Amino acid sequence: MKHLSEITNRLIGQPMFALLAKIKEMERTGEKIIHFEIGDPDFDSPDSVVQAVKNSLDNKETHYTNSMGLWDLRQEICSFTEKSLGFKPSVEQVLVIPANAIIDFVIRCVVNPGEEVIIPDPGFPTYRAVLNYTGIKAKPVPMNPNDIRKAITDKTRLIIINSPNNPTGLMLTKEEIAEVVAIAKENDIYLLSDEVYSRITYDKVHYSPSIYDQCKERTIILNSFSKIYSMSGWRLGYAIGPEPVIKKMGLLLETIISCFPPFIQRAGITALKYDVNERNKELRRRRDILINGLNSIGIKCLKPDGAFYAFAKTDLTQDEILERAHVAVLDGKYFGEQGKGYIRLCYASASIDEIKKAINQIKTIL
């Protein structure tokens, strides 16, 4: 008899998407909502990047391409990595792939059902969503070496870190990164470093665990064009890792989606040359106004070191804030146990005027 498979009982998707439907419905009825709910900058994708797609389409780059990614883009990623991290991976260590899929593919390629993965709590919900449906045990812990060490068992196969962290904006120090690398090495397990926000930092320097093994032994870098270049709809990202892992991830990509659109990959080459300084300055301005504003009305909030989220302690829920203040935020609970009692506000998706207005509107419901 027909049935849905066992994994479908464990599919949770990205639960905040339900909130989006509610917001859309309110807007449809004429309500004006200020948006802080999704990690999607309100900047446009760079003009040069859009032009690169158009050129690629005019050059008829519309056919199947190498499953691993365009050679030219992978080489550009290698050079970019040399400039930003100080080592140059081989082209064979690079796979072009939507960043979200890296989480799914890395987990499925290095962990078996019944084994364990350590993830940050609070942390990006997709880590948990993938572990959930694949039948692999998530060990959510606060992102620091002590808690990570305590969570290690003989079933641990992978540690995931995310610095700067979504949702807290917290960054691991050089010493903490070294310590996490040591833990992974002692236990001979893989380390997935989600570096989506590595170039959106304010006062501190980003450190990557990849500098210790140049992604040859155990470190896999996850990177994305979505946040830094405001290209969320393009689904363009890349993984850098040990060749045997990258090769298997490439086979999985070949099996599931054959290859990634070549004209979007051309846009990636152009994006890597785009100067993000002005965008980061604007994000810093928004951060300062939002954090000061929240603290001024009694909602405690630390200044994030990187990324573009305020993680604020409050008894207010997203539903109360949405319905009564017309401000869309996310409940911290989506990010794990440690996120309960917090809300996350993305300040990349609201202008400075909107941020000021939102603070006033939240103040009225306190």
Q: Which residues would be at the binding site for a second copy (CB under 8 A)?
A: 1-8, 11-14, 17, 38, 40, 44-45, 50, 53-54, 57-58, 60-65, 67, 98, 100-101, 104, 108-112, 126, 129-130, 133, 157, 188-190, 218, 230-235, 244-245, 248, 250-252, 254-264
Q: Give 239's strand partners.
A: 95, 222
| Cβ nearer to a second copy, comparing 351 with 360 | 351
Task: Considering the complex, state which of residue 88 and residue 185 has its C-beta at the smaller distance from a second copy.
Answer: 185
- Under a CB-based contact definition with an 8 Å cutoff, are residues 132 and 138 in contact? yes
In this complex, which beta carbon is closest to a second copy, that of residue 283 or of residue 325? 283
Quote the least distance from Cβ 344 to a second copy, whole Å. Answer: 16
Cβ(290)–Cβ(310) below 8 Å: yes
Nearest in space to 127 (alpha carbons), one of 100, 98, 145: 100
Min CB(64)–a second copy separation in Å: 5
In the complex, minimum distance from the CB of residue 211 to a second copy, in angstroms, rounded to a whole number: 19
For a second copy, give the closer residue by CB, 40 or 323: 40
**Nearer to a second copy (CB atom), residue 81 or residue 224:** 224
Work out how close the CB of 204 gets to a second copy at its nearest, in angstroms, rounded to a whole number: 28
Spatial contact of 131 and 137, defined as CB atoms under 8 Å apart:
yes
- Helix pair 277-296, 352-365: axis angle to 10 deg: 20
What CA–CA distances, in Å, run from 38 to 266, 308, 328? 27, 11, 9
CB of 123 or CB of 142, closer to a second copy: 123
Q: How far is the CB of 351 from a second copy (least distance, A)?
A: 16
- The CB-of-126 to a second copy minimum distance in angstroms stands at 7
